[in-house]
Amino acid sequence: MSSPSLPPWTGGTGSVILKTNTTTTENLEPSGLTFVANSGHHWLYLASDDGEAACLSSQNGSS
Amino acid sequence: MQTIGTGKDYDFEAITTVNGTTSVLIGVEGAKEKSAPYTNPSLKEYTITNTSSTNFLSDSGNSWSLGGMPLASNAGMEACTYVPYSACPQTWDVPTGHNGYFFAATQQAPGSIFIYDLPAANGGHQTVSTFKYRLDPPLVQAYKISDMFYSSNQNILYVLFDDQSTSNNTTTYFSVLQGLRANSEQFLSQGYMQAPYCGCEGVAEYSGDLYLGLDQNGSQKSQNGLNYNYVYKYADFSI
């Protein structure tokens, strides 16, 4: 396969809501994301290919 | 964070939810054997118990194995998302077990989406012998799909690709994001662009903000210049 020619990213500069080198997220390798509505709030759910799942606030990145 | 299991039977590669329910479906890659026959990918259902607890999911006992997708050793399902029937082409049949279809992709069929009509939960494990529809065009290229997410407020199916190319013995890693939307007969591309990082394996959208999750191998970390894995938020995103 040759090197692809793709339109550049136009989504702006992102902000980090999760970095995995904390005690609670040491082993997380994000392999899937989804949003879940529960108790009047929306939560970002994350699956990891090491058999973990995480539940994150979309506002502050807490797990 | 909750550790649900260990080993290849818990090789989680996808996560999705059915609108208006407390069920979360986690996709297991399957194809854990070194040679055929391979274990089918599967979806395990969990119920939300308490978002403020470290044990926020409980096993519902429901699961579905997904047959029909091409597999190879350690090359099974990488992506799965629920798409409501109202967002699918009007020519498609009414799904039987849910009010929508489950869109899945495997590393062994780059650029293809396999669409499943899952039977309703029965409290145990069910086998779905094959997919109902297969979507090839209009995806950007036959790149490997790493995640998908249907945004109900944008009516966009986001398809995330994570792949590599080699030229003059140099390997370049890249990720691509594409948006699809159904008309009355088929899904059509709404645009695509190269993601800001390679190694992107998770995508979701909420309230106009896009989220990308990175699962980098060593070479991808070197190319990105990032030492850890991250989830990034991109505000007011459109494609």
In this predicted model, what pLDDT tens digit does every residue of B163-199 receive, in sequence order? 999 989 999 999 999 999 999 999 999 999 999 999 9
Higher pLDDT, A60 or B198: B198
At residue A1 the predicted structure's pLDDT band, cuts being 50, 70 and 90, is very low
B 18-47 → A contacts, CB under 8 A: 20, 22, 24, 26-27, 29, 46
Contact assignment for B231 to A8 by CB distance below 8 Å: no
Nearest to B230 among A2, A18, A47 (CB): A18
B52: phi > 0 → left, psi -120 to 50 → alpha, else beta; which? Answer: alpha
pLDDT for res A57:
62
Instruction: Please tell me if residue B212 touches chain A, with a CB cutoff of 8 Å.
Output: yes
Nearest to B165 among A1, A7, A53 (CB): A1
pLDDT for res A43:
85
CA B198 from centroid of its chain's CA atoms? 17
For residue A7, the distance in angstroms to the closest alpha carbon of chain B comes to: 5
pTM of the full predicted structure?
0.94
CA distances, B187 to each of A17, B138, B175, B184 (Å): 32, 7, 21, 9
